[in-house]
Structure 1
Amino acid sequence: MILILGGTGEARQLAEALVAREVRVVSSLAGRVARPRLPVGEVRVGGFGGVDGLAAWLRENDVQAVVDATHPFAERIGANAAKAAEMTGVPLLRLARPGWQPEPGDVWHWADDLEDAAKKLPELGKRVFLTTGRQGLPAFAHLDDLWFLIRCVDPPEPPLPRHHELLLDRGPYEKAAELELLRRVDVLVTKDSGGTLTSAKLTAARELGKPVLVVRRPPRPATETAETVPEAVEWVLHR
């Protein structure tokens, strides 16, 4: 059995490719999205109970390899996967799409984390398009002098910024629609998620000359890494 961690597009593509090759796959989703896109093959939803719980699950289910295909900002499960793999001797691969890179015409500013982004934001504009996900919104809740257009998949829990408009939507997003949204604001805030699912906002910001505040990816444990699904498929098949 192969355990795939994560509900990303790459995780779903990997599950589909492996099931097509008659590899038994269990995809594990965190359960933080109300209506996730489900991959093919077996699916489990919810946490494992920390490192020890994940290690026990690997042993009990005779897992032959783990692919961590979680979101680039899913720090906790990434760290737990690395520790559990070391404890059990199960091979671990990190499937991580490359981060975004600025292109000519981009006006990018970098932040180390959400708190750092909140500190730098007032210097960049008064009207903000915030696309960092619902769990990170408390970092911006104290910025009473700014107005936020907040986009996320599911309704967020408070605290939220005092002045905001909420947009519930799920990617992929088209450039024309992103242009309309960005015309309403001064600055875009995003995590360096990478990939094409949500990259249209960066293209729109470039065309409009809008500044973009980009939150850097957190460090991950050192482990063998693949950047593409075909690379991950080959790694699994060699196991």
Structure 2
Amino acid sequence: MTAFKDVKLGKIADILNGIPDSKQLESANKANMITYNFIQPNHLGIFNNIQSVSEIKRTTPVDENYFIRKNDILLKRLNPDAATLINEDISNTTFSSNLFVIRVFKDYCPSYIACLLENHGITWLNGNIVGSIAPIKSISIKALAELDIPVIEYKKQEAIGQMWLLCKKRKQLMINLIAEDQRLMAAAIKNITEKNVRGGQNDGDYQKRY
């Protein structure tokens, strides 16, 4: 069996913590306020999707490093449960201090790193987490940076990353299919019961007439 060499996540990616959620005091001249799209933990879906964004207004510009880019990986700081890979550019969008962005260097495949973070990294982090006894668990940049990443060929990284993304899509399709089946079943039952009620009423009217 081939033994893979490991590298620390902090050696192959920039790990950024976002900007505070607290609102800055609005200046007297509101025209000086700068508006940004703002991603918070509750905006992240479970299918590698962003369900929505909010807005944040600031008196000072956000550093360009804190704008969300294609191939960024988002991870919750509190109670991490999934990794979210940004598949396309999102303009004028920054992120909360309750999120980390892992920005992988070009020699590594972002979807591979996201897959490892979600399926292996979070389990490892839970054993090295701040406040692991408390209901709310918090991870740190230091813990993320120490995460071991197996080094494999780039093509294999891409293959594993694609498998992870396809798995997400299949789960979403299955859930949507189940929801549609339940909707159709409910509609069929409603149709049958309403016909029975109408039929019973008609029988009563017939008996009254005769």
Tell me the TM-score normalised to structure 2 length: 0.25
| Structure showing greater relative contact order (alpha-carbon pairs closer than 8 Å, 6 or more residues apart) | 2
Larger Rg: 2
More helix by share: 2
Tell me the TM-score normalised to structure 1 length: 0.23
